[in-house]
Amino acid sequence: MVGWLSYGNKKFEALDGQMRALIPPLRQAMLDFIPMVDADTNAFSGFMVIYGHNSLIFYGTLSIIN
C-alpha cells in the first residue's frame, strides 16, 4: 500500500526505480495470498456453522433438561 502511495509522487522521485522494481512482485504475492485468506475464512465459517449451531442446540437441550 505504501508503494502505491509513493509511486509517481514527486516527493519520492528518487525512489521511483526501486518502487517500480518492488511493486510487481509484492502485487503478485498479494494476489497469491488472497485465495488463502478466502479459504481460511470459508473454513472458519464452516466451523461456526457446525460447532456454533450444534453448541446452541446442545445448550438449549441442557437448559430444557435442567
Q: Write out 2-58 in H/E/C secondary structure.
A: HHHHHCCCHHHHHHHHHHHHHHHHHHHHHHHHHHHHHHHHHHHHHHHHHHHHHHHHH
Query: What are the pLDDT digits (tens) for 51-60?
Result: 765 554 444 4
Look up the pTM and report it.
0.56
Domain spans of the chain, in order of start: 2-65
Residue 65 grid coordinates: 433438561
Q: Rounded to an integer, what distance in angstroms lies between the CA atom of residue 1 and that of residue 41?
A: 22
- N-to-C CA span, the chain: 55
| CA–CA dist 46, 41 (Å, integer) | 9
Specify which of 4-18, 22-36, 41-55 reaches the highest per-range mean pLDDT: 22-36
